[in-house]
Amino acid sequence: MDRSYFITIDFKHLSKAEQEEQGCEAIITYGDGNDAKKGHSIPPTAD
């Protein structure tokens, strides 16, 4: 099977309600087209 040479990076900034519920300001997911997507959370910043 051919492997993909591309990656995808998705950045989702959460609403204030979602930030309070999930405890992070944004979520970044990424994948290389060959495997399941992986993700990271960005902690909230001080206002």
Q: Which residues contact 24 (CB under 8 A, 6 or more apart)?
A: 14, 41, 42, 43, 44
pLDDT, one tens digit for every residue, the chain (47 residues) = 577 777 888 899 999 999 999 898 998 888 876 665 666 677 766 66
C-alpha–C-alpha distance, residues 18 and 30, integer Å? 20
Residue 9's pLDDT is 86
Confidence (pLDDT) at 40:
67
Tokens in use for 18? Answer: 């979602």
pLDDT for 17: 94
Q: Among candidates 36, 13, 11, which has minimal Cα distance to 24?
A: 13
